[in-house]
Structure 1
C-alpha cells in the first residue's frame, strides 16, 4: 500500500529551472506534435540544460517503479512541461480536452461552476483501445483554500483487497461496457467492453471511469449479471477505503507524473473561493524507444 512518502518528490534547482525556461522560450508548442521532434527537442534540452537529464531519468525511473513522482519548483511553461513529459513517452494531442489536437490542456476551475463536487477516482481515456500510458499534471495555481486535493489509489492495492473477497476474477472479464463520446450528429452511440482490472506477470492495470461505465450499462441495453455487478459494486466500494488513498495538495510549480494504467486519480471538492485553481495536463503514449515499458 502507499506509504507516507509516496509519491516520491524531487526538487528542480533554480539553476535548472531557469535554464529550462530559457530553452523553452525559443520554441512553440505546435512544433512538438510530432514524436520525432519531441525526441529531438528532449535530446537538445538534455545537452543544453546541465543537470536536467539526470533529474528526468530519476523521475522516469520513479514512475516506472513507484508509478508516480512529483518534481517541485518546475517552470510553469507549456514547452518545459512537454519536454519533461516526453522523457516518459510520446506526448499525444488527441483526447486531451474539449478542443481537438490539444497538446497541453489547461484545466481551470471556472467561476461559472462556483462549487465543484469531488472528481471521482478514474483513469483517463478508458474508451480507447489502448488508454494513454502516463499523465503529466503541472500546477499553475492551487486553490487558495487548500481544497481541490489530488487523490491517488494504486490498482494493485485494490486488487489485493478484492482478491481476499473473491471479487477479483469477475473484474478481469472483458464484459464491462464503456460509453464512447460521440458526435451529436451520429446515428447511435458506441459502447465498447473491457475488463476493469487486468493482472498479469505480477502487474495490475486498471481501466475505469464511473461516468463511462454507468452510461455504457444504460446504452448497452442489458444489465451485467449478478456476479459481475456485485464485483463492480465491491470495486467501487473499495475505492472509497481511506487506507488505500493518498491525498495531497499540488502547489504552484509541482509537476506530477504518473502511470494512468496502474493508478486511479481524482480530486476532492473545490469550494467557491477556489475557482481560480489551474493545472496543465499532457497525456502520453508509451515510448517506442528501445527498452521502454509499454
Structure 2
C-alpha cells in the first residue's frame, strides 16, 4: 500500500468506531464509502482478494494501524464477525499481545481458527502492530492440500475424513460443562481440500467425550500431526509492522514459532471473516452505487 493510500485510508477510518461496524451491511456501507473517498483502495483490495483465493494468503504492506481500517478492508473478503475472536465477547478486532503475563510463549502449534463453529471463518486478517525485536514469533503456514497428498500416499487420508474427531466447545457463562462436537479433520469438496483442526480443542474433546479414538483414527491423527512438522511443507516468515496478512482459514493451517521472554512485546490485531456465501454473511458489494 502506498503512503498516500495508507494516509487516505487512515483519515477515512478515523471517522468510524469499530462499534459502528458490527454488522455486514454496516461494513459494506463503510467499504463503499471508502472506495469512493480512496479510489486506489478498490483495485488494491480486489487484487488482494484474488491473490488470497488463488494463493491462499496475501500480505498488504504499509497498512494503517487502526481497528476501523482493518475491519473495513477485511469487509472486501466477507463479513467480519466477532464470534470466538478472543476472550471478550463481541470483539470485532482482537489484540493478540505476547506479554510476560501470558502463560504461554512456546510455539503456537498449527491450527485453524473457530473449528467448533458449524461453518468456520473463511478468512483471518492478522495486522502486525509490533513484531518481536528478536526476530522470533515468526508466522508459519501449511497447505491442507499438501498434507492430504502426503497422507494419501500412506493410505491415511480416509480416516481423517471420517466425522468422528471430538472438538471441545469453549464453555459459556452458566454452562456446567463444555459441549463436545465431532467433525472430520480433512474434507474434500469442489472447493478443494479443507481442514478443521486445533490440538487443544481435539485433546480436550477426547477427554470430555469419555472414550478414546480407535487405533485407526488415532494413528491417522498422530501421523497428521507429525506431517505438520515437516519443514519442506511449511512456509515461515516474519511479519513487519504494518504488514496485514490475510489467509484462508479453511485451506491453510497457521501458527507461530516461540517467543522468548525478551521478545514478549509482539503485538498483532486479528479479525475473523465469514465468506459472502456463508450463512449469515452480508451480500458482496462492488463498491459502486446501483
State the TM-score, normalizing by the size of structure 2: 0.94
Q: Does 1:193 align with 2:182?
A: yes
- Corresponding residue to 1:220 among 209, 213, 222: 209
**2:54 corresponds to:** 65
Match of 1:15 in 2: 4
Of residues 22, 25, 45, the one that matches 1:56 is: 45
What does residue 280 of structure 2 align with? Answer: none
Aligned residue in 1 for 2:257: 268
Alpha carbons of 1:115 and 1:94: their partners in 2 closer, same or farther (altered >3 Å)?
Answer: closer
Instruction: Tell me how far apart the structure 1 counterparts of residues 285 and 217 of structure 2 sit (CA, whole Å).
Output: 37
Aligned match of 2:164? 175
Alpha carbons of structure 1 residues 56 and 193: separation in structure 2 relative to 1, 3 Å: same
**Deviation per residue, 1:104-149 (Å, 9 max, x gap):** 0000111224871000000000111111111000000000001000
SS of 2:69's partner is helix
2: distance between equivalents of 1:57 and 1:158? 29
Cα distance in 1 for residues equivalent to 2:213 and 2:46: 44
1:148-188 residue CA offsets vs partner (Å, 9 max, x unmatched): 00000000000000000000011000000001111364223
Q: 2: distance between equivalents of 1:266 and 1:124? A: 10
**Cα gap change, 1:167/1:259 in structure 2, threshold over 3 Å: closer, same or farther?**
same
The correspondence for 2:75, drawn from 86, 90, 95, is 86
- Return the alpha-carbon distance in structure 2 between the equivalents of residues 214 and 284 of structure 1: 26
8 Å contact from structure 2 (residues 71, 271) kept in 1: yes
User: Which residue number in structure 2 is paired with residue 256 of structure 1?
Assistant: 245
Deviations 1:52-82 (A, max 9, x none): 1000000000111111000001111111111
Preserved CA contact (<8 Å) 2:110 2:255: yes
Q: Out of 77, 93, 100, which is 1:104 matched to?
A: 93
Number of residue pairs matched by the alignment: 281
Q: Which residue of 1 aligns with 2:274?
A: 285
Match of 1:27 among 16, 21, 24: 16
Q: TM-score, normalised by structure 1?
A: 0.93
Contact 2:165 2:202 in 1 (8 A): yes
Aligned partner of 1:7 in structure 2 is none
Coordinate RMSD, CA, aligned: 1.5
Please give the alpha-carbon distance, in whole angstroms, between the structure 2 residues aligned to 1:222 and 1:277.
39
Residues 1:126 and 2:120 aligned together: no
Unaligned runs of 5+ in 1: 1-11
